[in-house]
């Protein structure tokens, strides 16, 4: 029981870190571009994951099919990170953290239903409608302020949520390798691709970065990515996906609260209400049990 409570605490920290990564990106966007951020972030993440994988006694072996899927996932992830970065840079971390993280499971459900020619039940249709209302509420659509609704950062966030859903579906096909190892190779491919095609490492190294940059970069690379992802995947292995998934509800709210604390962003009532509506939609679509009944001996 003590070990389970410790794991719950680590999962709680991980979800807060995931939400905090939106704040990290907002601050880092003042220093470097999206591809430079990707290179530094995931290079540090890869290095940090090596000892974690060794401690967990996971094999670094990966079969050809899984590696091919890791390459595909990496390419989609690069596109996602670009829109995620741009949306946060020109928009607000609170809206991005709320909208993207709640839209991802909804978009994944829709894409899976389309790809599998699945008939959507009345319950799922209601949940999707509720989710749509939630997103529209986040975007202040009811204010009928066209200039506020149709801004480029909202488009970036919407595209990012769709790209992550595609990446989720692709990576789910890798069934013969540990999720931790799959993610590790996906990050390796990302670093290599960005290094070869998108950045001048000489210019990147010559930049002078202050304490704020490194504090946010290390937090995002080690805490939000290497540590949080590892704990999340271990949680699924040890506790099951249903129990761990309930912690995902912490991510959008931590993004909203941390954005208000560290960036001075206003906590809009529309974002809060929209987030709640989309989270209810996600719960209905995935049948997530937030409260688990205690087992009696």
Q: Determine the pLDDT at residue 148.
A: 67
Q: Please say whether the beta carbons of 160 and 87 come within 8 A.
A: yes
Q: Determine the pLDDT at residue 136.
A: 87
Structure tokens at 208: 């002078």
Long-range Cβ pairs for the range 267-273 (8 Å, 24+): 267/94, 268/94, 268/95, 268/140, 270/137, 270/138, 270/140, 270/142, 271/94, 271/95, 271/98, 271/138, 273/134, 273/137
Q: How far apart are CA 223 and CA 217, in angstroms?
A: 10
Q: How far apart are CA 108 and CA 18, in angstroms?
A: 19
The residue behind tokens 């571009």 is 33
- Is 276 exposed, middle or buried, given 0-12, 13-18 or 19+ CB atoms closer than 10 A? middle
Q: Determine the pLDDT at residue 275.
A: 92
- Is 48 exposed, middle or buried, given 0-12, 13-18 or 19+ CB atoms closer than 10 A? middle
Helix (H, G, I), strand (E, B) or coil at 279: helix
Q: How far apart are CA 206 and CA 132, in angstroms?
A: 46
Helix, strand, coil share (%) of the chain residues, nearest 5: 80, 0, 20
∠ CA 42-67-65, nearest 5°, is 160
The tens-digit pLDDT sequence of the chain (297 residues) is 457 778 889 999 999 999 999 999 999 999 999 999 999 999 999 999 999 999 999 999 999 999 999 999 999 999 999 999 999 999 999 999 999 998 888 888 889 888 887 788 888 889 889 989 998 888 877 775 666 667 888 899 999 999 999 999 999 899 899 999 999 999 999 999 999 988 877 767 777 899 999 999 999 999 999 999 999 888 877 777 666 777 888 899 999 999 999 999 988 898 999 999 998 888 887 664 444 444 333
Say how many C-beta atoms besides its own lie within 10 A of residue 6's C-beta.
10
Q: Euclidean distance between the first and final Cα of the chain, in Å?
A: 14
Q: Determine the pLDDT at residue 144.
A: 59
Structure tokens at 295: 């087992």
Helix axes 34-55, 64-90, angle to 10 degrees: 130
- Is 225 exposed, middle or buried, given 0-12, 13-18 or 19+ CB atoms closer than 10 A? buried
């Amino acid at each position: 029981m003590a070990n389970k409570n410790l794991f719950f605490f680590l999962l709680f920290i991980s979800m807060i870190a995931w939400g905090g990564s939106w704040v990290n990106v907002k601050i880092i966007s003042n220093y470097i571009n999206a591809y430079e951020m990707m290179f530094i972030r995931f290079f540090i993440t890869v290095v940090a994951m090596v000892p974690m994988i060794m401690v967990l006694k996971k094999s670094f072996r990966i079969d050809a099919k899984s590696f091919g899927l890791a390459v595909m996932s990496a390419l989609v992830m690069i596109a996602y990170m670009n829109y995620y970065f741009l949306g946060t840079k020109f928009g607000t971390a609170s809206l991005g953290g709320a909208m993207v993280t709640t839209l991802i499971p909804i978009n994944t459900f829709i894409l899976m239903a389309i790809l599998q020619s699945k008939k959507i039940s009345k319950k799922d249709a209601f949940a999707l409608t509720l989710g749509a209302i939630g997103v529209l509420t986040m975007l202040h659509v009811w204010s009928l302020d066209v200039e506020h609704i149709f801004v480029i950062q909202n488009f970036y966030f919407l595209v990012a949520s769709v790209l992550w859903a595609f990446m989720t579906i692709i990576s789910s096909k890798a069934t013969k390798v540990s999720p931790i190892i799959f993610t590790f190779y996906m990050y390796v491919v990302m670093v290599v691709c960005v290094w070869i095609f998108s950045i001048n490492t000489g210019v990147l190294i010559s930049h002078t970065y202050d304490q704020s940059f490194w504090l946010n970069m290390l937090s995002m690379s080690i805490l939000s990515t290497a540590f949080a992802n590892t704990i999340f995947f271990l949680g699924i292995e040890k506790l099951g996906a249903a129990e761990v998934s309930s912690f995902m509800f912490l991510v959008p709210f931590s993004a909203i609260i941390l954005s208000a604390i560290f960036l001075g962003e206003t906590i809009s009532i529309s974002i809060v209400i929209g987030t709640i509506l989309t989270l209810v939609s996600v719960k209905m679509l995935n049948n997530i049990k937030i409260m688990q009944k205690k087992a009696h001996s």
